[in-house]
Structure 1
Amino acid sequence: MRKILFISALTISASSSALTLEESVATAINQHPKLQQKYASFEAAVRYKKAAKGDYLPQVKLYGGVGYENVRYNSGQRIDTDLNRTEIGLKVSQLLFDGFRTTSEIDRLEFEQEAERFGLISEAENLSLEVAQVYLSLIQANKIVSLSEQNITEHQAILKDIELRQAKGLSSESDVAQVKARVATSNTSYLAARNEQMDLQARYYDLVGELPNDLHDPRPDMNYVPQSLAHALDIAVKKHPEIDAAIRDTQAANAQYEREKSDYWPKLSIELQANKNDNIGGIEGPDEDARAMLMLSYDLFNGGSTTDRAEAAAWQYQQAKSIRQQTEKQVIEGTRLAWNAYEFVGQQRYFYQQNVDQAMLAQQGYQRQFELGRRSLLDVLDAKVEVFLARKNYLTAYYNYHAASYRLINATGSLIESFRVDTPNVWHEEK
């Protein structure tokens, strides 16, 4: 049975594809199969833990049987009987002590459930970052397509002007050929931009389940962006769900080691049993009994299997500790990389803006000088290409900066929270 992960606080219309970034994230979390898999794994862990708790409760077993029985001797006496044997009984047992096996098993499953919960949150965080990156890239691609269309229009206007000048004898055939070459180049740039745009649309559909339309330019919540690298690292180590999941895996491995050691202890239980049988042991007639017993069992030797299992569990605990350490190192590395991107791309925006401003001034000046005969056509065309590339680079830096902001928030484990997307209470229950 498919379950809904959560009900978003945002109102999402099933018939509309004009989604904000926050709505796109909420839709992806609700629908994406990758997160459904993690949610199913979490729910399975919850059920396994509930099942283990059943060992604390009395166990009631009803059993019965009917069949043919041939007995030649009973207690040394020859009786040679052929009877129809029937059995029915009820057995109630209550575990009193099992060497802490049940307690350790419940602890292990509790920690595994928590590891699954944090893994689910981490998967949702990463999916949210994917959606944010694709969303921003798609808006950037849309604007680059528009910029490419404008570039084609401007080059075609230049071509028309140069052809008129040629007709008046003011320009040569080589000038016309040169502009036509630039028109062809601008068309190839447009096609490359359209290809990128369509690829991103397909990627958006894969994540969100809807085709994008009328996207809204998002802004990261800067309240969630750390003010320094040290601050970012401190938040990431304390809050990142991957580290929390690794910690719970380590605790689960330790609980498993304690469970395996339980076989060193005796087992103690109370058993109540009543039977109502007929034609038992070759003696015709009813056979009824009832008993209440305090049962003790102690495994004195089992070929060293208990020791081997305990040692294996100890090594699994060491493995989990190493994975936890490696996870923290990876989170720290990811946070550093995210901070570096945020810092340097932020600085690049300023220079790209200057590049656009100066390139436009140069183009305007070259155009006036060309009309006065003081600049060549090649100078004008090169200046126009410079403006186009400067605008394209600025768009890339602008959206890369926003993407770096979301990436840094994700590195600290707060991206879903920054989007104000509601999640189930069970996602936040600390066990």
Structure 2
Amino acid sequence: MKGGRALLFGAALVAGLAGPLAARAETLADAFILAYRHSGLLDKNRAVLRAADEDVAQALASLRPVLSYTAQATRTYTFPNDTPGGISSSGLPTSPRGDTVTDTASLGISGELLLWDAGRTRLGVDVARETVLLTRHALTQVEQQVLFNAVSAYLAVIEAQAFVNLRQSNVQVLNEQLRASRERFEVGEVTRTDVALAESQLAASRSDLSAALGDLEIARAQYVQAVGQKPGQLQPIATPPRTATSLDAAQAVARQTHPNIRRDMRAITVAELNILRAEAAMKPRIVGQGSLQIDQDYTETARLGVQMTGPIYQGGALTSAYRQAAARRDESRADLHITVDDVLNQVAQAWAQSEVATARIAAGELRVRAARVAFQGLQEEFGLGARTTLDVLDAEQDLQDARAALISAQVAEIRAAYQILFTMGLLTVEHLGLGITTYDPEAYYNAVKDAPVRKVSPQGEQLDRIIKSLGR
């Protein structure tokens, strides 16, 4: 990536933003950090990742013994048909002769342990683990999007403020031009038409200034949405970030690191594991069972056994599930192909935008210099009576257009550089070296991967601490 240059409107921007806004200048790194900490989208996807972590714990629990207890108490009344009851002196019915009341109670514990299922449950654990890794890549892409939104909002405020400064300068110049035209009209050096032209140009410039102020307010609102607070005194970005030495190099990095590509690769692994699970579902399942029961007479009953179950005929559902899993595997492979093409196309587009912006800057600088010389020369010629007011106003408009085009090109160069990083999969807190504490996806996973019981085991106590630190 070619080196950048300082933005020409930097000094004017700093002056324009001073005043009611914060005294300390905010850098792009500050905006990145604020956006990372503010983002509700990141919070949401972190919760999605933690939910995926729990799938691992639940899948692993299926390989462990399942214990349950049963407590039961029963009172049974028996009423023989041949011994009807009577009526007492109080008018209440009496129990029939021969009626019996029997109380029974029992307490039992039972357990079940999976012995063999052709690896179906173990494959379920592998699927859950691969899904966790897949979800982590999705979280990385969300992080990239949050940071790119932040830099886009930052540049939008800088560009909008620069246009406000430019329009304000233009209004000042045209005010002076109108004043000079009126003075010369008073002495008969120009006509009323020249004064009207100056007034018209000034009105148009004031309209442009109003539009620029509106654009600045919109940019500030978007900054609040992306970063979480109103923009202060934003520092201009002197140079674009380093990306890659060539388009081929950028695309090669994107193939290896882009989170969407890595996510789809994990999705293929999940799909292939699901094919194996569909095959295993056609095979028998062996479960060990045991129970212990004690009744009200302290009679103990114990049972141990092995149960094997398996499908005989299910109307073709199992073979259909296998074919469906294979089809989804093919779909995942196609998704990866589409994603790779899309990512490489995005890298190429961002690279082209960067090159176009660089060329526009070089041409824009020449255009500004030429337009400035032309405007200054026409002003002098106008003073000598060799040029009309319209000539001077046209030259001044050309100069303003040249400056505006240069501002847009300079902002586009910075934005394109960060777009390249985004498409390469490198627009992350770690790669940018922001030096802040980031969300650790391993912490929660390590706390729940062995399916701990909260408040009982040391792992459960660790999990409680992690959940508390997350504010949940």
Q: State the TM bucket, normalised to the shorter chain.
A: 0.7 to 0.9
Shift of 1:135: 0.6
Between the aligned partners of 2:24 and 2:287, the Cα distance in structure 1 is: 63
CA deviations over 1:134-164 (Å, ceiling 9, x no partner): 1112101111101100100110011111111
Q: Corresponding residue for 1:125?
A: 144
Between the aligned partners of 2:149 and 2:65, the Cα distance in structure 1 is: 49
Q: 1:202-351 residue pairs with structure 2 within 5 A?
A: 202-219=221-238, 222-223=241-242, 225-278=243-296, 287-351=299-363
Between the aligned partners of 2:163 and 2:240, the Cα distance in structure 1 is: 25
Between the aligned partners of 1:339 and 1:292, the Cα distance in structure 2 is: 70
1:56 equivalent to 2:63? Answer yes
Contact 1:18 1:212 in 2 (8 A): no
Shift of 1:98: 1.6
1:178 equivalent to 2:192? Answer no
Contact 1:17 1:212 in 2 (8 A): no
Q: Corresponding residue for 1:43?
A: 50
Between the aligned partners of 2:246 and 2:221, the Cα distance in structure 1 is: 36
1:22 equivalent to 2:29? Answer yes
Between the aligned partners of 1:430 and 1:407, the Cα distance in structure 2 is: 32
Select 1:139's aligned residue among 140, 143, 158. Answer: 158
Shift of 1:32: 1.5
- Specify the SS of the correspondent of 1:264: coil
Structure 2 unaligned residues grouped into runs of 5+: 1-21, 80-98, 447-472
Between the aligned partners of 2:326 and 2:156, the Cα distance in structure 1 is: 47
Q: Corresponding residue for 2:432?
A: 418
Shift of 1:185: 0.6
Contact 1:69 1:82 in 2 (8 A): yes
Contact 2:50 2:444 in 1 (8 A): no
Between the aligned partners of 1:17 and 1:32, the Cα distance in structure 2 is: 23
Q: 1:81-96 residue pairs with structure 2 within 5 A?
A: 83-96=102-115
Range with bigger deviation, 415-424 or 180-189: 415-424
- Specify the SS of the correspondent of 1:415: coil
CA deviations over 1:399-425 (Å, ceiling 9, x no partner): 100100010111111122125354334
Between the aligned partners of 1:384 and 1:419, the Cα distance in structure 2 is: 44
Cα gap change, 1:352 to 1:227, in 2 (>3 Å): same
Q: Corresponding residue for 2:411?
A: 399
Q: Corresponding residue for 1:387?
A: 399
Shift of 1:365: 0.6
Q: What amino acid is the match of 2:40?
A: P
Q: What amino acid is the match of 1:365?
A: G
CA deviations over 1:275-310 (Å, ceiling 9, x no partner): 1135xxxxxx56531122233222323333222222
Contact 1:159 1:180 in 2 (8 A): yes
Between the aligned partners of 2:386 and 2:76, the Cα distance in structure 1 is: 120
Between the aligned partners of 2:368 and 2:352, the Cα distance in structure 1 is: 24
Q: Corresponding residue for 1:98?
A: 117
Cα gap change, 1:259 to 1:71, in 2 (>3 Å): farther
Between the aligned partners of 1:221 and 1:140, the Cα distance in structure 2 is: 15
Between the aligned partners of 1:93 and 1:331, the Cα distance in structure 2 is: 49
Shift of 1:54: 1.2
TM-score (norm 1): 0.88
TM-score (norm 2): 0.80
Shift of 1:83: 3.5
Between the aligned partners of 2:298 and 2:340, the Cα distance in structure 1 is: 69
Contact 1:406 1:415 in 2 (8 A): yes
- Specify the SS of the correspondent of 2:244: coil
CA deviations over 1:322-350 (Å, ceiling 9, x no partner): 11111111101111111110111111110
- Specify the SS of the correspondent of 1:257: helix
- Specify the SS of the correspondent of 2:26: coil
Q: What amino acid is the match of 2:426?
A: S
Between the aligned partners of 1:188 and 1:153, the Cα distance in structure 2 is: 13
Contact 1:159 1:176 in 2 (8 A): yes
Shift of 1:236: 0.6
Q: What amino acid is the match of 2:116?
A: F
Root-mean-square deviation (CA), in Å?
Answer: 2.4
Select 1:374's aligned residue among 379, 386, 407. Answer: 386
Aligned sequence identity (%):
23
Contact 2:53 2:445 in 1 (8 A): no
Contact 1:22 1:421 in 2 (8 A): no
Shift of 1:82: 6.4
Range with bigger deviation, 166-175 or 61-70: 61-70
Between the aligned partners of 1:315 and 1:256, the Cα distance in structure 2 is: 11
Shift of 1:215: 0.5
Contact 2:28 2:151 in 1 (8 A): yes
